[in-house]
Amino acid sequence: MAIRTAFATLAALSCLVGATALAAAPATATAGADPSAQHCVVNLDSQKVACAADPQQARQLSDVGPTALTIAIFYAGTGYTGATHTWVQSRRCTPGYDAEWQWDNLAEIGWNNRLSSVRTYNRCDVKLYDGFNFKGASSVWIDGSSNLGKIGSGWNNRASSVKFS
């Protein structure tokens, strides 16, 4: 967890540096961007984050290989709009809800209480928690939603940690 925290902190700090840092960053490094960099990719296998002005550029800057699978895309707006955060890893999710991957602090990557819609892929679902480290209330397992405010007691702009299965 300390390595993931260090990578996420580096990514968040590099976002403050500006577009110059993004242009100079090697393709496999954790990269940040200026405020116009609205799209990020998280490799759940390596815990590295890469951000850019568009989703394709963020994926190119990330350390994901050609076989990496997208398991979920978070959107800042309802209706699958706004900034995105794409979660990738090397294998499909299994049918059981056993939390195969997780992120215990969405604030580390700038997504605390920011998620408004989500799409899932490769048999994966997400479970949201309103506290860090999977504390507090949790959602049901979500296969996808264009408006998280309509899930349970409302999950629009509420998630602080997430599990994937």
pTM: 0.78
Quickly list DSSP for 73-98.
EEEEETTTEEEEEEEEESSPPPSS--
Show pLDDT as tens, one digit a residue, over the chain (165 residues): 444 444 444 444 333 333 323 332 323 333 443 345 689 999 998 999 999 998 888 888 888 877 889 999 999 999 999 999 999 998 888 878 888 899 999 999 999 999 999 999 999 999 999 999 999 999 999 999 999 999 999 999 999 999 999
Question: Where do the domains of the chain lie, and which CATH numbers do they carry?
Answer: 2-164 (2.60.20.10)
Q: How far apart are CA 165 and CA 90, in angstroms?
A: 13
**Number of H helices and number of E strands within the chain?**
3, 9
